[in-house]
Amino acid sequence: MNVTLSIDDRVVAKARRIAAARGTTLNQLVSDHLDELTRGDDMDAVVRELDAMWSERKYRSSAPWSREEAHQRS
């Protein structure tokens, strides 16, 4: 999808230099940043789901583990 953005010329020039130093394009740099930004929302959802699971009693151990139990291999 093509998107038109209004960005200050100085910012674009600096971003192009950063992209060139990284061996990529400004387009790819922006695309990668937006991809990373939107993946953060997925990570937040995973953290909330794990928090919810751990708050349920069935996912908790009956007692604290000893150091030996925690490091025991099956």
**18 touches 24 (CB < 8 A):** no
> Looking at the domain assignment, is residue 25 inside a domain?
yes
3, part of any domain: no
Domain count, the chain: 1
In a domain, 20, yes or no: yes
> Which residues in 54-73 are b (16+ Cβ under 10 Å) and which e?
eeeeeeeeeeeeeeeeeeee
Q: How far is CA 2 from CA 22, 27, 31, 34, in A?
A: 23, 10, 11, 14
Whole-prediction pTM: 0.53
For residue 18, the model assigns a pLDDT of 94
Whether 2 is covered by a domain: the verdict is no
Residue 40 lies inside a defined structural domain of this protein: yes
Task: For 4-51, write each residue's pLDDT tens digit.
Answer: 989 999 999 999 999 999 999 999 999 998 888 888 778 888 888 888
